[in-house]
Amino acid sequence: MPTHERIRSLLQRYGIALFAVAAAFVFTLLLQGFFPYPFLFLFFGAVMASAWFGGTGPGLFAVLLSIVVVDYFFVPPFRSFSISASAGAYFAAFVACALAASWVSSSKKKSEVALKQGLDQLEVRVSERTAELMKTQAELAHLSQVLSMGELTASIAHEINQPLTAVVTHGHACIEWLSANPPNLEKTRQTAERIIQDGTRAGAVLSRIRALFKKEAPAKHWFDMNDVIHELTVFLRDEATRHRISIRTDLVPGLAKVKADRIQLQQVVLNLMMNGMDAVAETTERPRELLISAREKDSELIVRIEDSGMGLDAETVEKIFNPFFTTKPHGFGMGLSISRSIIESHGGHLWAVPRPSGGAVFQFTLPIRPKESDA
């Protein structure tokens, strides 16, 4: 602060003390006739106001002025700076109270100023921290988008991995049949047909997933869910044998047909079966089993996939269908979320419960076609 501004501020603060004491003096003179003893409380107010608005220096200056004025005008003998013996104790008490008032007022003001400065500094820090958090949040949101795209890409790759693997396997088998002497053309033709089927299925999976995320209506047709389950059981038989997993089915012949997107429901059942196999593969305490069943109940088809794996706790059951939530060390957390979206788009419901004998049960419902119109 420049020197002239400091001098101006100093004069203003001490001017406040002088004005406050002068005002107290005037009003005390006016009130003196109404009290049998000197009414000096206004000087305490002047001292406190001077210390509050001016600080410690102006407060002590107000105390000094008040002592001089009170001694000369209000303490006998009047109009004199001498003090009678009878008024000495009274005057000493006034001085002590004035000093105490000045100290209390200036201390209170300092505390308030310090508190205000602390709050201002805290507000600045909070603003800076908020800005940093907003920047960090924006960075995390961008990172989340990048990771989400990576997770989604990996999940889609996982969905089409099985048909592509089958294409490669059948391709090798086709070469083996052609290398035979003489070439087994019948086996080669059958294997080529399987390559076409699996390649078509892989393309259909991508098409259905894209339609799902574009919120397009599924391509629904009437079909038998037993056929889908049987196809997938055969498809996963070698994988189950390799991991010593027993896959059993409990299917009721003549189930009512469902009108749905066959490719999407294949992916749902395949995902649930593979999840069950992953859970069972870690089991050592009981037989490794996977049971797939289908039943009709109350105009709905109920499909259940039961495994004898480690099971589900209450917290996991609540979160397991959330996107990117997974219990697998290398999982993506998208399969069950996509599966639930597919089932709900067909008017059904997908949920999970713990299996009483150990393991988990994933089941979903679908509206069914009345039996009299099956044909």
Structure-block tokens of residue 141: 């949101």
266-282 pLDDT tens trace: 888 988 888 888 888 87
> According to the model, what pLDDT value does residue 148 have?
47
pLDDT band at 374 (very low <50, low <70, confident <90, very high): very low
205-221 pLDDT tens trace: 666 566 655 555 556 78
> According to the model, what pLDDT value does residue 37 have?
62
Q: What percent of the chain has pLDDT over 70?
A: 81
Who wins on pLDDT, 158 or 4?
4
Classify 289 as helix, strand or coil. Answer: strand
Helices 85-179 + 335-345 axis angle, to 10: 80
Q: What percent of the chain has pLDDT over 90?
A: 6
Q: How far apart are CA 44 and CA 207, in angstroms?
A: 89
303-320 pLDDT tens trace: 999 998 888 877 777 778
Q: Is the pLDDT of residue 364 over 90?
A: yes
Q: How far apart are CA 218 and CA 210, in angstroms?
A: 11
> According to the model, what pLDDT value does residue 154 have?
55
Q: For residue 197, which of 160, 166, 225, 240 has the smallest C-alpha distance?
A: 166
Classify 24 as helix, strand or coil. Answer: helix
> According to the model, what pLDDT value does residue 270 have?
87
pLDDT band at 35 (very low <50, low <70, confident <90, very high): low
Mean pLDDT along residues 78-83:
76
Mean pLDDT along residues 84-90:
72
Q: Look at the chain and count its residues.
A: 375
Do β-strands 360-367 and 300-307 pair in parallel, antiparallel, or remain unpaired? antiparallel
130-153 pLDDT tens trace: 888 777 766 665 554 454 455 455
> What angle is formed at CA 149 by the lines to CA 162 and CA 277, rounded to 5 degrees?
35
pLDDT band at 350 (very low <50, low <70, confident <90, very high): very high
Classify 106 as helix, strand or coil. Answer: helix
Q: Is the pLDDT of residue 75 over 90?
A: no
DSSP 78: T
Contacts of 311 (CB under 8 A, 6+ apart): 354, 355, 358, 359, 360
> According to the model, what pLDDT value does residue 293 have?
93
Q: How far apart are CA 42 and CA 66, in angstroms?
A: 10
> According to the model, what pLDDT value does residue 318 have?
76
> According to the model, what pLDDT value does residue 267 have?
83
Q: For residue 277, which of 254, 307, 233 has the smallest C-alpha distance?
A: 307
Q: Is the pLDDT of residue 232 over 80?
A: yes
Q: For residue 24, which of 81, 77, 65, 58 has the smallest C-alpha distance?
A: 65
Q: How far apart are CA 89 and CA 83, in angstroms?
A: 10
Token pair 């500094």 is found at 121
> According to the model, what pLDDT value does residue 239 have?
79
Q: Is the pLDDT of residue 373 over 50?
A: no
Q: For residue 277, which of 324, 328, 319 has the smallest C-alpha distance?
A: 328
> According to the model, what pLDDT value does residue 333 have?
59
